Structure 1
């Protein structure tokens, strides 16, 4: 379960730790070892991360963050980082999802949110799951990341290696017309394994995550 201390939310999994800070620019999931070595950052959204913070709370397995519109990002935004239970073998260290829910007071907009995962390795594999790419990334300390989103939610998904020791999974969330008062939602999913994971097992966990229920939004 998430532990919230007023500025930082964490999940201690023994071998790794998840952390989400709520300061501007820090609203992303950091995956760290027990020795505080950064392995990856999941689902960084620079435009959303810079918006004014309204509220943060933990509700069951959900870490919930509400933000207000800004001049550069005119959307009311709700973020739900949810810890998931998946009935798969091998069992991941943790499985989680991100739900991004937005609405606007403007008459017509075309929201597009940059969603970036970065990992401290260059090697990766790409699988076809539900018509979209799932990325399997070996991290340090024998940890493996499976990162997945559907093409219905992301108009662009690609993997880049801009630096010699890092790779970047870059997505564009939404990108469609949004009317005033209409709520639009999209999700991303991830699982962390203690060892290497076979392609079939990675595909199965993605399908399991895709079938999980949406968190109750406010």
Structure 2
């Protein structure tokens, strides 16, 4: 499977959103098209969002994630355990967001493989500074956009299970099921297992 190659700041509107990801995975597994899912989600407000604008902002990102995974991972997202669904969602986020994949691979995966369990906020700042120096597109993002992305990245680390809370800098390994690791290796996506710290 191939990953998006363009850098994007779209994640400012859609963080981990595991509940929503699982809901859409179930609809996709039932055979619904993207348009049918979009219509049902908005008309019935299946996410129970108070503001329709936040629902519409996050929906395209979640649909992109759903379309980035195969049938086996789709079933896991919809019907699997919470931990397994978290791992599939994290994988889908990395598959659809190049910068986030690079962050996971270069910052989190590397640290965990070397048994380093400290992740300070300054490391996140350094990551974005280096990427802005290397890529014109990222350098063109506003300070507000970069600040929001940093918040989203940290929130994803918490919701995926890498950090216990906002105040902590103590990383933990993700509980990644053996069958998910094997499946990702089988489809040629071992680099994502690496990025998760395995």
| TM surpasses 0.5 | no
More helix by share: 2
Indicate the structure whose relative CO is greater, using CA pairs within 8 Å and at least 6 residues apart: 2
More strand by share: 1
